[in-house]
């Protein structure tokens, strides 16, 4: 790789990192491309050189970390299926833990992504991105869930996975409802702190839905 290519790659990464942080803070509509360029320390023309539109930039922000996350989840699923595992807790952890591991590394970029994806997952405007980048892996978890509950129906499994995602994403949200409801007694700043209770909650809910 030439120095020019290295420089271009570094600039592209800086733009993605800046966009990720700003989108997580203010949402897609609240962030001008000019502000992203300023935050990244590059000229506006360089942003438009790497990304033809703001929408393309937004999708690239989502895609680059989603690819990493999906790869970790699929690796778990391959092992889960190969071992003929039927433990519900193990399956739920296989979905939730990769995200938690990446968030818990202390990498500010992954924390920004966690807050951003929690917003995007609830947005009708960006639902196509979730469909494109998450649904294939999500369907694999639906299939694995039906393997644990062979008498269950697919609609129940789809709903169970959908509800589980909402619960899981809640621990990565930045709205700090735990602090508000507890009047500051408890904290949601560390996702790892909520992990065990979230897994238990999801497993209980899935079992109720699938056992009907």
Average pLDDT over every residue of 100-128: 85
The domain spans of the chain are: 1-52, 59-210
**What CATH number does domain 1-52 carry, 1.10.10.60, 3.30.2420.10, 1.10.3720.10, 1.10.10.10?**
1.10.10.60
Q: Where is pLDDT greater, at 196 or 173?
A: 196
Q: Which ranges of the chain does DSSP label H, i.e. alpha helix?
A: 3-26, 33-40, 44-50, 54-82, 88-104, 108-120, 127-148, 154-170, 177-181, 191-210
pLDDT band at 88 (very low <50, low <70, confident <90, very high): very high
Residue recorded with tokens 């995200």? 99
Residue 178 has a pLDDT of 82
What fold characterizes domain 59-210?
Tetracycline Repressor; domain 2 (1.10.357)
Span 46-70, average pLDDT = 95
Q: What is the pLDDT of residues 115-126, one digit of tens each?
A: 899 888 888 899
Q: What is the mean predicted confidence (pLDDT) over 65-75?
A: 94
Mean of the pLDDT values across residues 44-72? Answer: 95
**Do 88 and 207 meet the contact criterion of CB atoms below 8 Å apart?**
yes
Identify the pLDDT of residue 158.
97
Residue 150 phi, psi dihedral angles, 5° rounding: -60, -20
């Amino acid at each position: 790789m030439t120095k020019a290519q290295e420089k271009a790659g570094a600039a592209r990464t800086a733009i993605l990192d800046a966009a990720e942080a700003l989108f997580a803070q203010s949402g897609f509509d609240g962030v001008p491309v000019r502000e992203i360029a300023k935050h990244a320390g590059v000229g506006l023309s360089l942003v438009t050189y790497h990304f033809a539109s703001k929408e393309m930039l937004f999708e690239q922000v989502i895609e680059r970390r989603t690819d990493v996350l999906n790869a970790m989840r699929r690796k778990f699923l391959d092992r889960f299926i190969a071992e003929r595992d039927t433990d519900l807790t193990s399956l739920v952890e296989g979905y939730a833990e990769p995200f938690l591991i990446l968030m818990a590394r202390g990498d500010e970029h992954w924390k920004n992504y966690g807050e951003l994806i929690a917003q995007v997952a609830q947005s009708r405007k960006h639902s196509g991105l979730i469909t494109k980048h998450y649904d294939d892996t999500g369907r694999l978890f639906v299939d694995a869930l039906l393997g644990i509950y062979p008498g269950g129906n697919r609609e129940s499994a789809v709903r169970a996975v959908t509800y589980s995602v909402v619960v899981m994403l809640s621990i990565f949200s930045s709205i700090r409802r735990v602090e508000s409801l507890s009047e500051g007694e408890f904290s949601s700043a560390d996702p790892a702190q909520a992990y065990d209770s979230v897994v238990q909650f999801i497993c209980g809910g899935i079992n109720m839905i699938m056992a009907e």
